[in-house]
Structure 1
Amino acid sequence: MKKTLMVAALSGVFATAAHAQSSVTLYGLIDAGITYTNNQNGHSAWQEKSGTLNGSRWGLRGAEDLGGGLKAIFTLENGFNIANGTSGQSSRMFGRQAFVGLSSTQYGAVTLGRQYDSVVDYLAPLSNTGTQYGGTIAAHPYDNDNLNNSVRFNNTIKYSSVNYAGFKFGGTYSFSNSSEFANNRAYSFGASYNWGPLAFAAGYLQLNNDVPAGAFANGNGPASSAAGAQTGEWTFLAGRQRTFGGGVNYTFGPATAGFVYTQTNLGDTLGGGISSTQSGKGSGVAFNGNSARFQNFEGNIRYALTPAISLAGAYTYTRADFGGGVNPNYNTVSLQSDYALSKRTDVYLQGNWQHVSSNSDNIGAFLNGLSSASTRQDQVAVTAGIRHRF
């Protein structure tokens, strides 16, 4: 009898230990709201929106302890539209992220699959758009620097370092998966450093395509899908994109203030422009020369009024050059108030305004994530919504 009880007890211990060595977590976020826009393609609009701030998603995250500080890790993350139940990211099953790899407590992690670039990993958290305090609709014009991860990268190998006393770094390389190795590829690198109340970050991203205005049309490429540029995976119809930037945040008491600068330089843009999804239907935004450029200057602040109530805001000034003497300037403002009903559920009210001044009549204001651009120089959107995390 004693032996039987001992065997049962030991079996329970070993089963618990085995379970502790391997884990899988189901997680997600649902963001739904009502948005009023003063001008979309010439008309005001009331819309139910999914992911106005943060894209709705669910995912599986797992790890297996291999011993010696080494783990096997994976993430599979699906993006979806809560308003109609359809999948996002061009109807991919795991369009937000899908990767597997190894993680070491001494040397960092190496992962392979569909992943975010280093600008998103390191620099975006210091911006307004890369956080829960501004999100999708607060992105810099057309999300030109990808801080809101409009483009995710296929065929990607990523390295992420461990935390060295507040300093972290990493990089990605996205294969073209074609015989033309340098064509239709992408790579990035970035770093961040936290020292007391200060946080610093910088990042660089480059997308290559040797075909002018090809915009990663090869279905096997790092940022593409089989349907090519028409799927909305593209921010720009350009042969080459180089994005770099840096930022700083300073926390004092319940407040955090920050500044982020980014620049995006485009090459081989002759005949190209901004993708229809990014520029709004029928807005006619096109580049007029062989190159284009965006410069973004963002100041942001967030303040915890109480443990449950937070306030946040940001102002971004964007200078652009579309070639041919077309040089629009954008002023974008985002203001948000948020009330936490619990640790997992919050309600928010956010207002966004953009004004574009340009020497071209074809460029209207366009807040990221809306259905259409404004027919005028200004566009205003107000959203009341709810977010639930699980």
Structure 2
Amino acid sequence: MKKSLLALAVLGAFAGAASAQTNVTIYGVADVGIQRTDTSATSATWSLNSGIWSGSRIGFKGSEDLGGGLSAIFQLENGFAIDTGALGTANTLFNRQAFVGLKGGFGAVTLGRQYSPYHIALDTIDPFETGLAGDTTRLFASHLTTGYPIRVSNSIVYSAPAMGGLSASLIYGLGETAGSVSDNSQLGVGAGYANGPLNVQFAYHTTNVTAAGVDTDHSSLLLGGKFNFGVATLHAGFADNKNEVAGGSNKARNYLVGVSAPIGAGKLLASWVRNDLRGGNLTDADQYAVGYTHGLSKRTDLYTSFARTNVDVGADVNVFNVGMRHKF
């Protein structure tokens, strides 16, 4: 009886705290689909995959008004595999986002694990939204030693207040290396302009990688945008990447040309992505993709996509998927 009363008291305390925090939002995405993958050197594999279009997740976010136009903000976001129920990253609860900070007329300063401005810019201009089989991240810097980071742990982000369609952000990730401030640190900047049918994005990210006293730094610069003509939206992007290696460097240039067009309650997607690799024993690749998404409601979508990647030296890859996404 005493244990039951204690449990009720604890639940009551949590309920009281939750009611006081009326601005806390619980949200999430449940995304799952069937995927077929084959190469010119291997047989096809059929699988049930989570997060094909958008990573399956559950999150918590909120703010507290501190007065004088200042607010405390936080966000905690867990990624999981809906096909197995497993954590998206082993032994990491909030692998997608985890940060706290302050927001006011000056903009926002947040600390924790956060998206890089580079990924935000690429996701904005990609007709496939860096998801589905047409995902630009499959080729953008992917054949270099290390591609651009989607998220940065141990990071500090400053987001400037939006002004007339302009936006800007700066991220710094601490390397947390004994005896050095710069070793294994990351620095990124992003800027955008969105006004009416036009959206232009710029981003730059560099990582100072040091192991056994040897620098293998890598950097990526991105410029792209999209323009909505009404009947269709044109997407385009260009990236320049560099990885330092022993005795020199590897370089790659990425190109994106795509289109998205509304068709009733759905949207048709298509893109061409090229990875033009320079230096070393690197291989160029071209990806051609087409897809279709269909909204059953504001929160529920069906999707399908197909992409073929032609590799100059090596096995070509085909990916097909069909699935369902629900936001809550």
Verify same fold: TM over 0.5: yes
Give the secondary structure class of the aligned counterpart of 1:121.
Answer: helix
Q: CA 1:50–1:185 in structure 2 vs 1: closer, same or farther (change >3 Å)?
A: same
Distance (whole Å) between structure 2 residues aligned to residue 108 and residue 301 of structure 1: 33
Distance (whole Å) between structure 1 residues aligned to residue 242 and residue 69 of structure 2: 41
Per-residue deviation, 1:127: 1.9
Check conservation: 2:183, 2:209, Cα contact below 8 A: yes
Give a deviation string over 1:303-340, Cα, whole Å, max 9, x none. Answer: 1111x1111111112101251xx342211012111111
Q: Percent identity?
A: 32
Point out the structure with the larger strand share: 2
Q: How does 1:337-356 map to 2 (within 5 A)?
A: 337-356=292-311
2:226 pairs, out of 233, 249, 255, with 249
Distance (whole Å) between structure 2 residues aligned to residue 142 and residue 80 of structure 1: 24
Check conservation: 1:70, 1:102, Cα contact below 8 A: yes
Paired residues, number: 307
Distance (whole Å) between structure 2 residues aligned to residue 161 and residue 380 of structure 1: 41
Quote the residue 1:328 is aligned against. 283
Distance (whole Å) between structure 2 residues aligned to residue 100 and residue 186 of structure 1: 19
Distance (whole Å) between structure 1 residues aligned to residue 29 and residue 41 of structure 2: 30
Say if 2:247 is the partner of 1:265: no
Give a deviation string over 1:177-226, Cα, whole Å, max 9, x none. Answer: 23311101001001001232111110000000232798xxxxxxxxxxxx
Quote the residue 2:65 is aligned against. 65
Say if 2:84 is the partner of 1:84: yes
Misfit runs of 4+, over 6 Å:
18-21
Q: How does 1:281-296 map to 2 (within 5 A)?
A: 290-296=248-254
Distance (whole Å) between structure 2 residues aligned to residue 257 and residue 59 of structure 1: 32
Quote the residue 2:203 is aligned against. 203
Distance (whole Å) between structure 1 residues aligned to residue 287 and residue 36 of structure 2: 17
5+ residue gaps in structure 1?
1-17, 215-237, 271-288, 359-363, 365-375
Distance (whole Å) between structure 2 residues aligned to residue 71 and residue 293 of structure 1: 43
Give a deviation string over 1:133-186, Cα, whole Å, max 9, x none. Answer: x4476234455279x975421110000111100001010111122331110100
Distance (whole Å) between structure 2 residues aligned to residue 73 and residue 41 of structure 1: 50
Per-residue deviation, 1:91: 3.5
Check conservation: 1:112, 1:155, Cα contact below 8 A: yes
For 1:291, give the aligned amino acid.
Answer: S
1:144 pairs, out of 141, 145, 167, with 141
Quote the residue 2:321 is aligned against. 383
The TM-score with structure 2 as length reference comes to 0.86
Quote the residue 1:284 is aligned against. none
Check conservation: 2:63, 2:72, Cα contact below 8 A: yes
Give the secondary structure class of the aligned counterpart of 1:119.
Answer: helix
Q: How does 1:357-368 map to 2 (within 5 A)?
A: 357-358=312-313, 364=314
Q: CA 1:248–1:296 in structure 2 vs 1: closer, same or farther (change >3 Å)?
A: same
The TM-score with structure 1 as length reference comes to 0.73
| RMSD of Structure 2 on Structure 1 (CA) | 2.5
Per-residue deviation, 1:121: 2.6
Quote the residue 2:116 is aligned against. 117
Check conservation: 2:140, 2:254, Cα contact below 8 A: no
Distance (whole Å) between structure 1 residues aligned to residue 100 and residue 137 of structure 2: 31
Per-residue deviation, 1:264: 1.3
Per-residue deviation, 1:41: 6.2
